[in-house]
């Protein structure tokens, strides 16, 4: 997969700090723009430490994601506090589509042969249906979850923290976990203070919603907080 941060709110941490400070000031946010960096930094740190996360919703991040499977995007779009624009299988000719191959299959010669045979069969059936005059919106019904796709995703900073909390977890499916980690690296580069402790919930908040005491991260991040 290929993940790029297309755009984000300019100076997101300063914006969030101004919004936070406006909640406890007689002055409006536009009157606080000239506040010194140090004062705003203190406001930002206080918000992040106290868990008052509503103000970080003011910062948005937009990602371009290329080459992930339809199986992965089916999971991704379950995060409903976001905006998505996905490559359409109705309008894009997918006769030369790529297919995402899981490592478990790639590392097993017999499984890889069976997988590739299935992908060839799906691709041939798709092409045959188009040749027979079947519209792409119907021909696509034979395409598998492995079909590679592109998608644009916009999330605010608070939803990103939630997304990372769930999808950076070692219990998350491997492909969306890889996607989440790639997005986290880019988000942290743009807003290091906001995403400094971002990651699976065990790291972010010291909580394991899976309750998996056998997980290698459980002792490291959960028990040590207790």
Catalytic residue set: 167
* CA distances from residue 23 to 27, 31, 67, 136, 157 in whole angstroms, order as listed: 9, 13, 42, 52, 19
Say if CB 126 and CB 47 are below 8 A apart.
Answer: no
Say if CB 161 and CB 204 are below 8 A apart.
Answer: yes
Long-range contacts of 44-52 (CB under 8 A, 24+ apart): 44/13, 44/16, 44/17, 44/20, 44/193, 44/194, 45/193, 46/20, 47/16, 47/17, 47/20, 48/193, 48/194, 52/20
Q: Which residues contact 71 (CB under 8 A, 6 or more apart)?
A: 100, 145, 146, 175
Say if CB 61 and CB 187 are below 8 A apart.
Answer: yes
């Amino acid at each position: 997969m290929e993940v790029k941060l297309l755009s984000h709110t300019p100076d997101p941490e300063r914006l969030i700090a101004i919004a936070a400070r406006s909640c406890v000031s007689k002055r409006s946010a536009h009157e606080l723009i000239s506040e010194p960096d140090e004062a705003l930094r203190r406001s930002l740190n206080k918000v992040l430490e106290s868990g008052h996360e509503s103000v970080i919703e003011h910062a948005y991040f937009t990602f371009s994601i290329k080459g992930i499977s339809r199986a992965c995007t089916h999971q991704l779009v379950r995060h409903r506090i976001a905006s998505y624009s996905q490559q359409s299988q109705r309008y894009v000719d997918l006769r030369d589509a790529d297919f995402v191959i899981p490592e478990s299959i790639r590392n097993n010669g017999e499984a890889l042969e069976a997988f590739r045979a299935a992908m060839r069969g799906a691709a041939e059936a798709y092409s045959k249906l188009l040749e027979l005059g079947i519209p792409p919106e119907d021909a696509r019904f034979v395409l598998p979850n492995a079909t590679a796709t592109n998608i644009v995703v916009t999330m605010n900073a608070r939803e990103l923290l939630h997304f990372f909390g769930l999808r950076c977890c070692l219990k998350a499916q491997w492909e969306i976990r890889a996607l989440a980690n790639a997005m986290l690296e880019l988000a942290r580069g743009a807003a290091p203070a906001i995403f400094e402790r971002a990651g699976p919930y065990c790291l972010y908040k010291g909580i394991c919603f899976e309750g998996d005491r056998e997980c290698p991260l459980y002792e490291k991040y959960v028990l040590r907080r207790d």
